[in-house]
Amino acid sequence: MGEIIEEFLAKRTKAKAEKDEVASESLKVLMNSIFYGIFANPNCRWFSMPMAGAITTFPQELGHIVAKEMERFCREELKLKNAVVFYRDTDSFMVYLGIKNYDKAKGLQIVIRDHINSFLDKYIKDNFCRDNHMFLDAKRVYLKFVMPKLRKQDVDTEIGIKKKYCGYHIENGKDKIDFVGMEVIHTDWTNLAKEFQNELYLRILKGQPYEKYVKDFIHNLRQGKFDDKLVYRKNMTKNHLEYVKTTPPHIKSVRKLLECGGTLNSNLVEYVMTVDGPEPVGYVKHAIDYNHYIEKQLVPIMEQIFTLIGKSVEEFILSSKQKILTSY
């Protein structure tokens, strides 16, 4: 089995070097299935829950050890007294260095990477008498970083919400924002929300004015200037007739489509929200419900970032004659 993993590792390294993300991700899934997928499957002849449990707990334990060494190295050897690992996942670490020099930080990430890789080689050899096949890559240095908190999270913690963050950096002289686990990358959010989130976060993280942008964006939405960005896209996982207890918006849209004599060409349903509820694209009979898009698409995005900078959503979307549901 070790030889098979080494073969896949070599192929994945080649795929990553060639920036073939599809091949890289496919090989990663295959390697995971060879280990956990085999031992955790009751139908497999090698089924063993203790072994499956060890596969998941070992990376967690090792991650804790690596994080401690990373902080020790930064604080004691690099003299970065405020350095802290503020986020870690199964296979990733994020370190706050406590410095403002971007070029220096980019150099230090290489130094930290090389040290941890040497540390892993020695740790695995000393404790398990095996050659190490794990290594860290220095991926990105962020100028600004945002990690939204859970709404019910009351206790401060150094470890943020897993797989939900965004970071601002400069790539080839251009401003870039990496979004992970947020609305801008979700397929069931509209293009309206994605465009709004990307521009709003970029302006705030760069320290640029954003108030007028938000108010103008909402005004233009109400004026119908973004009607081509309001489409929801949702896959049907079963026949629309099987939805009995609940009827999600995309299913309501499908039934209206069929009532109008339309046909379903795929499982992907496209619809917009009107004052009469969801209606299928191409068969919209009622006015667009712009308040819905403000409340369900824009407000959640604003709340996440405004909470962190001490701003109120209401001042941007309320007038003396209007109220949204979240204001009650």
Backbone angles phi, psi at 89, to 5 degrees: -120, -170
Residue 74 near residue 83, CB atoms below 8 Å: yes
Give the pLDDT of residue 228.
95
- One DSSP character per residue, 112-156 reads HHHHHHHHHHHHHHHHHSS------------SEEE-PPPTT--S-
CATH architecture of the domain covering 1-47: Orthogonal Bundle (1.10)
Give the pLDDT of residue 150.
56
Residue 182 near residue 199, CB atoms below 8 Å: no
Q: In angstroms, rounded to a whole number, what is the distance separating the alpha carbons of residues 203 and 175?
A: 10
Give the length of the chain: 328
- Protein fold of 175-227+290-327: Topoisomerase I; Chain A, domain 4 (1.10.132)
Give the pLDDT of residue 321.
39
Side chain identity, residue 42: P
pTM score, two decimals? Answer: 0.76
Residue-wise pLDDT tens for the chain (328 aa)? 677 778 888 898 899 889 898 998 888 888 877 777 778 888 888 888 888 888 888 888 999 999 999 999 999 999 999 999 988 887 889 999 999 999 999 999 999 999 999 999 999 999 999 999 888 999 899 999 888 765 544 444 444 456 788 899 988 889 999 888 776 677 779 999 999 999 999 999 999 999 999 999 999 999 999 999 999 999 888 888 888 788 899 999 999 999 999 988 888 999 999 999 999 999 999 999 999 999 999 999 998 899 888 888 887 876 433 444 444 4
Residue 287 near residue 265, CB atoms below 8 Å: no
Give the pLDDT of residue 213.
95
Give the pLDDT of residue 31.
81
Q: Please, what is the angle between helix 21-32 and helix 2-17, to 10°?
A: 160
Q: In angstroms, rounded to a whole number, what is the distance separating the alpha carbons of residues 111 and 138?
A: 9
CA distances from 25 to 15, 54, 55, 88, 244 (A): 9, 23, 19, 20, 37
Give the pLDDT of residue 327.
46
Q: What share of the chain is helix, strand, coil (3-state, %, to 5)?
A: 50, 15, 35
Domain chopping of the chain, boundaries: 1-47, 175-227+290-327, 231-280
